């Protein structure tokens, strides 16, 4: 039974059968060829049996292994490594088929190669998930054939290998490295001019040319008999919350990724940078209910808690309750904090309905409203209009784009910080706004 499950006929065998059939047809008109056709049939049968012996005479035949990361990173290209080895005493023709998870909707994965005796080889391919959750890789299947290529033997390895897809860990690591190496400007992050100085004392040091004379410490100067100045540092341990709207407005996809997942990826990368800069970070996810709330904590291990909570956030086909958000913030977040609200407004009327709640939150906290440009509309606006219908579509697109800019000015008019960004630039712009607020001492 095991033999039948692994036994397959190679396509080359059917070509041989077609040639034999042609020989028998010709032999009807040329009887002299009839014995030759039967001889070829016997030869083919002998090769068929010999090929079976070659492939099944070796019990082990081929060995293979799929190597997956412990976690896949959402929206990134994740490497999958496959190692395989031949134990046949001849050159084996190998065809590798990996059954990818159903979420990828890809059924034509195949890799072909040749292996000499005892040769071990590996190859790598990448997968890009666009949804968080559990991804189950099916069978790793290898078809092996001898140089005769009449029969194929099927090998099956690693059935149902599950790996979870988490928010973009790769993106988080990328910005973590950039933050440490101070190379954020290479990715579009601006250097912010510092306005005044913060009041968190760090140390007393000797005066050097260029120091602010207003920071001179006259008592220390008298003791040391030379000019001494107070040195200040950015205020630390300030609470920062990423608030994610999980309502229907965040279901909109761009480049295959929902706005919710853009916000989640940005939250993870941003929280990591803020923790490395000694601030407290927390998250809040809401729609009709408060789905997730993690108080702000200043521990690097707290990032694992944030990662697990972000992994389980889902979106609903409901409108978010900003009144509920205001009540929860008022009750649970008592200290003045930086609140990054990830949401989306497509119409000015939608913003005006929520504006009273946003103003109430902004009275006590530094509120930054993050919403998104519709990149598909921007592409339509940039295209050339060739007929009356395309002119109409382009005009409507420009109207929606103008409304987005008007919403940004409307929020700024009331002193609410805003980020209007393309989805793919969300993380860069969010970190940049955080650095700007810290540099200006607004928190």
Same domain, residue pair 15 and 131? yes
CATH number of the domain encompassing residue 302:
3.40.50.410
The DSSP symbol for 253 reads: E
Same domain, residue pair 337 and 380? yes
**pLDDT number for residue 299:** 84
Average pLDDT for residues 7-27, to the nearest whole number? 72
Looking at 233, 252, 282, which one is the last position of a domain? Answer: 233
Average pLDDT for residues 347-358, to the nearest whole number? 90
Average pLDDT of the chain? 83
Q: What is the pLDDT of residues 292-313, one digit of tens each?
A: 999 999 888 899 999 999 998 8
pLDDT band per the 50, 70, 90 thresholds, residue 2: low
pTM of the model: 0.79
Q: Is the pLDDT of residue 181 over 80?
A: no
Question: Can you give the residue range of the structural domain that contains 379?
Answer: 169-193+235-440
> Cβ of 191: how many Cβ atoms within 10 Å?
12
Q: Degrees (nearest 5) of the Cα angle 292, 296, 297?
A: 125
pLDDT band per the 50, 70, 90 thresholds, residue 21: confident
Same domain, residue pair 278 and 228? no
- Tell me the sheet residues that pair with 240: 281, 338
Q: What is the pLDDT of residues 249-289, one digit of tens each?
A: 898 888 888 999 999 999 999 999 889 888 899 999 999 99
Q: What is the pLDDT of residues 69-91, one digit of tens each?
A: 999 999 999 999 999 999 888 88
**pLDDT number for residue 196:** 46
Residue with tokens 């989805």: 423
Q: Mean pLDDT highest for which of 43-57, 285-299, 381-395?
A: 285-299
pLDDT band per the 50, 70, 90 thresholds, residue 235: low
**How many whole angstroms separate alpha carbon 404 and alpha carbon 371?**
9
Percentage above 90 pLDDT, the chain: 33
Average pLDDT for residues 99-118, to the nearest whole number? 87
Same domain, residue pair 154 and 294? no
For 368, the enclosing helix (H) or strand (E) is strand 366-372
Q: Is the pLDDT of residue 191 over 80?
A: no
CA 190 to each of CA 117, 173, 193: distance values in angstroms, whole numbers, following the listed order: 57, 20, 9
Q: Is the pLDDT of residue 186 over 70?
A: no
Q: What is the pLDDT of residues 400-415, one digit of tens each?
A: 778 888 899 999 988 8
CATH number of the domain encompassing residue 132:
2.60.40.10
- What's the total number of domains in the chain? 3
> Cβ of 105: how many Cβ atoms within 10 Å?
7
Same domain, residue pair 118 and 208? no
30-39, 95-104, 248-257, 307-316: least confident range = 30-39
Q: Is the pLDDT of residue 108 over 70?
A: yes
Same domain, residue pair 251 and 294? yes
Q: Is the pLDDT of residue 188 over 70?
A: no
pLDDT band per the 50, 70, 90 thresholds, residue 151: confident
Same domain, residue pair 158 and 183? no
Same domain, residue pair 204 and 291? no
The beta-strand segments (E) located in 217-299 are 228-233, 239-245, 253-254, 257-258, 280-286, 290-297
Is the CB of residue 426 less than 8 Å from the CB of residue 218?
no
**pLDDT number for residue 210:** 67
* Chain mean position to CA 237: 29
50-59, 238-247, 381-390: least confident range = 381-390
Tokens representing 4 are 């039948």
Same domain, residue pair 294 and 420? yes
Q: Is the pLDDT of residue 99 over 60?
A: yes
Q: Is the pLDDT of residue 195 over 50?
A: no
Same domain, residue pair 189 and 212? no
Higher pLDDT, residue 380 or 347: 347
pLDDT band per the 50, 70, 90 thresholds, residue 190: low
pLDDT band per the 50, 70, 90 thresholds, residue 194: very low
Same domain, residue pair 267 and 206? no
Same domain, residue pair 227 and 296? no
């Amino acid at each position: 039974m095991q033999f039948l499950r692994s036994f397959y006929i190679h396509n080359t065998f059917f070509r041989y059968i077609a040639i034999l059939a042609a020989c028998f047809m010709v032999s009807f008109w040329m009887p002299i060829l009839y014995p030759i056709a039967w001889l070829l049939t016997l030869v083919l049968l002998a090769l068929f049996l010999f090929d079976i012996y070659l492939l099944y005479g070796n019990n082990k035949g081929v060995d293979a292994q799929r190597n997956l990361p412990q976690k896949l990173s959402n929206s990134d290209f994740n490497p999958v490594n496959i190692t395989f080895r031949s134990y046949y005493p001849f050159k084996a023709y190998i065809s590798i088929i990996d059954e990818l998870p159903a979420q990828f909707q890809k059924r034509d994965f195949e890799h072909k190669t040749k292996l000499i005796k005892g040769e071990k080889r590996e190859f790598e391919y990448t997968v890009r998930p666009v949804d968080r959750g559990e991804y189950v890789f099916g069978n790793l299947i290898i078809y092996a054939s001898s140089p005769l290529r009449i029969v194929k033997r099927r090998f099956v390895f690693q059935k149902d290998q599950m790996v979870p897809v988490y928010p973009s860990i790769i993106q988080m690591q990328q910005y973590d490295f950039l933050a440490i190496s101070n190379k954020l400007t290479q990715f579009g992050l601006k250097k912010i001019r510092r306005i005044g100085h913060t009041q968190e004392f760090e140390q007393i040091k000797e005066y050097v040319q260029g120091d602010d004379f207003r920071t001179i410490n006259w008592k220390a100067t008298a003791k040391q008999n030379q000019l001494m100045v107070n040195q200040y540092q950015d205020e630390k341990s300030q609470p920062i919350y990423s608030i994610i709207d999980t309502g229907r407005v965040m279901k909109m996809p761009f480049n295959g990724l929902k706005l919710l997942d853009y916000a989640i990826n940005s939250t993870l990368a941003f929280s990591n940078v803020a923790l490395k800069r000694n601030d407290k970070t927390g998250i809040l996810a809401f729609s009709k209910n408060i789905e997730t709330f993690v108080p702000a904590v200043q521990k690097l291990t707290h990032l694992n808690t944030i990662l697990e909570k972000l992994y389980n956030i889902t979106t609903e086909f409901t409108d978010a309750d900003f009144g509920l958000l205001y009540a929860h913030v008022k009750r649970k977040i008592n200290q003045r904090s930086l609140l990054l609200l990830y949401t989306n407004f497509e119409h000015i009327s939608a913003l005006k309905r929520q504006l009273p709640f946003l103003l109430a939150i902004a009275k006590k906290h530094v509120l930054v409203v993050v919403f998104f440009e519709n990149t598909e509309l921007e592409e339509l606006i940039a295209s050339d209009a060739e007929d009356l219908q395309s002119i109409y579509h382009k005009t409507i697109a420009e109207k929606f784009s103008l409304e987005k800019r008007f919403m940004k000015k409307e929020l700024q008019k009331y002193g609410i910080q805003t980020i209007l960004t393309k989805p793919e630039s969300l993380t860069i712009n969010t970190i940049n706004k955080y650095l700007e607020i810290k540099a200006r001492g607004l928190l």
